[in-house]
Amino acid sequence: MGKRALLVASLPHGPREPLTGTPPRPPGSVRRTTTIDQRRGGPGEPQEIVASGRDLLTRVDGTAEVVDAVTVRARVEPLGIVTAIQAEPPVPGLGALIGGHVSKGLRGRVDDALPAERDRATVLHQLLDDFPMAALLSSYGTTREMEDWNIPKETAAGMADLCAGWAGEGTMLDALERTGIFPIPLGPPAPDLLSPEDPLAWHELEPMVPRSIRRRRRLDLLPGEPRTMDVHFRDSHLGADGLEDVLHEYTLAVDLDDALIVLRSEATVRVLPWPECPGAVGSAGRIVGHPVAALRLLVGSEFKGTSTCTHLNDVLRSLAGATALARAATR
């Protein structure tokens, strides 16, 4: 066991209680499932992105209808430049993302190139919105394979208090200060979420390949008064050894009024790397009183610092998709 692995094993960690399945689809519900896989090549080789998702309406009689579905494939060069991207079914304007960075400024370029996808909160928009964080998570996988890799202390200092896990005196940065080694966390094994009894529980998924990360989402808009949402989010990594571990995982319970304004928002931590991370869970309540359509802007501009979690922020931003799910529920 290397020095980094020994250090990580000696440190306290956050919760490790990943979900072990997917709930049934109630009649009258609409479910969005998305996955984005970022597959690493060898040193200096391009990375491949495979992103897919689906909105599925389950009618009161139990029959189901796909109301939105797309698969996106992209190639990213080692410096982060998108050199190829295509979708099935084809999406006019998607090629405008070629030549730009996969994370820096990408969300703004998506909005400029595909404003209708943003305004309709489509599956495609959700997938593209996840590209930047998938790229960041992929870098964690790369550094796991490089025993001598380390983050300069001055770089880490510049990121102090970025979120709860990066608290200046928290476990991670304290370990770096004490030992000179940046601890790269290892999460619990990832339970399978597929439901053999319900082949429509998730969209069709390609198998993960070794040396890749997967960001997975499920948003269920449930019938009733008030409207409720059951949300699940997981980041995982499949190593070269074929073992998949969970990096981050949340569930979220939300109540919405008829205008899709948030009445209640309560997050539950399932898996997070450091003991300080769950301190951000209360930030989920800060979206109460806001329309879901405004959450991407609200969270992006106001949810910062050690009372927040970068990954929970992404969960909250994804609630914008409720507008599309609510439209589908009226079909």
Domain range annotation of the chain? 3-329
Sheet containing strand 64-76, edge to edge, reads 82-88, 64-76, 47-58, 30-39, 212-222, 227-238, 244-256, 262-271
| Single-letter amino acid code for the residue at 319 | L
What gap in Å lies between CA 330 and CA 323, rounded to an integer?
A: 11
What pLDDT is recorded for position 1?
63
Residues in the chain predicted with pLDDT less than 50, given as ranges, are: none
Helices (H) and strands (E) in the chain, counts: 10, 8
Segment (H or E) for 71: strand 64-76
CB 300 within 8 A of CB 287: no
What pLDDT is recorded for position 146?
79
What gap in Å lies between CA 89 and CA 110, rounded to an integer?
A: 17
What pLDDT is recorded for position 125?
98
- Rounded (5°) CA angle 250-196-16: 25
Please give the structure tokens belonging to residue 33.
Answer: 């499932």
Residue tagged 């919105």 (tokens): 129
